[in-house]
Amino acid sequence: MKTLFVTAIDTDAGKTFATGLLGKYFQEKGYKTITQKLSQTGCKDVSEDIEMHREIMGIPFQEADNEGLTCPYIFEYPASPHLSAALESNEIDIEHIRKATTSLTENYDKVIIEGVGGIQVPLNNEMTLLDYLQEEGHPIVLVSSAKLGSINHTLMTLEIAKYRGLDIRGIIYNRVADHSDIIAEDSRKVFLKYLKHYGFPEVLVEIPKLEKGETPLIDFAVFDN
């Protein structure tokens, strides 16, 4: 498995943190590892998410970062990629992203790709992230949490992923925010039940509650295949 795609049930679910931790894990295991962000909005020149990945991984910006391969599109206005691009008289070209990813896979053992928002976010006027994932066939991990509404968003994502034939490898359960332990325990049971229901691996890896600035080495061995 060269690539692993990180999507989430919604924006601000913890994709960036999870992607950085995955990069850190594979790097510590001896793989030559890089992360990629398909597109980022709300910043200029440099992807803030890629910066966070590098900080978590404990490495400086790489040559691939400086070449624009790890974040092919950066837009200033904080909105969905299709809108942010349009406001700059631009449009996301999926082939450009594909070529960047291919270039990374030719030079790295592992490429951890962070998506944008939730799974139905429009990338351009023709294609959503869901369409892109169906075309590319990347193995996928879904980031969820215990926040209110997460069960609904998670089950909807799993159902549409099943319908579209996506390769879901499991859930990363983000406990970084201090949500109720009672809710969290119930959510874990529900998520595992529905992973099985939809025919996906019953895999759930938890990112525990952490102090600010902590970036622990999480055991993501279940995604190393």
Is 199 part of a structural domain of the chain? yes
Q: Cα-flanking dihedrals φ and ψ of residue 26, to 5°?
A: -65, -35
Give mean pLDDT, residues 77-85.
96
Quick check: is 193 catalytic? no
Return d(Cα 22, Cα 34) in angstroms, integer: 10
Give mean pLDDT, residues 34-53.
96
Q: What pLDDT shows up at residue 180?
A: 81
Q: State both tokens at 111.
A: 């490429």
Is 96 part of a structural domain of the chain? yes
Return d(Cα 118, Cα 150) in angstroms, integer: 12
Neighbour-count burial of 34, counting CB atoms closer than 10 A to its CB (0-12 exposed, 13-18 middle, 19+ buried): buried
Return d(Cα 132, Cα 183) in angstroms, integer: 33
* Counted domains in the chain: 1
**Tens of pLDDT, residues 110-133:** 999 999 999 999 999 999 999 999
Q: State both tokens at 197.
A: 């229901």
Is 1 part of a structural domain of the chain? no
Return the CA Rg of the chain.
17
Binding region for substrate: 41
CATH of the domain at 60: 3.40.50.300
Q: What is the dihedral of CA 126, 64, 58, 76, to 10 degrees?
A: -50
Statement: residue 178 has pLDDT above 80 = no
Statement: residue 97 has pLDDT above 90 = yes
Is 204 part of a structural domain of the chain? yes
Binding region for ATP: 12-17, 49, 114-117, 174-175, 208-210
Statement: residue 102 has pLDDT above 90 = yes
Statement: residue 45 has pLDDT above 80 = yes
Q: State both tokens at 13.
A: 């679910």
Q: How many CB atoms lie within 10 A of CB 7?
A: 26
Q: What pLDDT shows up at residue 52?
A: 97
Please say whether the beta carbons of 49 and 86 come within 8 A.
no
**Tens of pLDDT, residues 21-33:** 999 999 999 999 9
Statement: residue 175 has pLDDT above 80 = yes
The model's confidence at residue 211, banded by pLDDT at 50, 70 and 90, is confident
Is 121 part of a structural domain of the chain? yes
Give mean pLDDT, residues 192-208.
97
Which residue range forms the structural domain that includes residue 161? 6-223
Q: Which of 2, 24, 32, 37 is catalytic?
A: 37
Is 147 part of a structural domain of the chain? yes
Question: Mean pLDDT over all residues of the chain?
Answer: 95
**Tens of pLDDT, residues 132-169:** 999 999 999 999 988 888 999 999 999 999 999 999 99
Is 170 part of a structural domain of the chain? yes
Please choose, from the candidates 190, 179, 121, the residue with its C-alpha nearest in 3D space to the C-alpha of residue 155: 190
The model's confidence at residue 222, banded by pLDDT at 50, 70 and 90, is very high
Return d(Cα 121, Cα 125) in angstroms, integer: 11
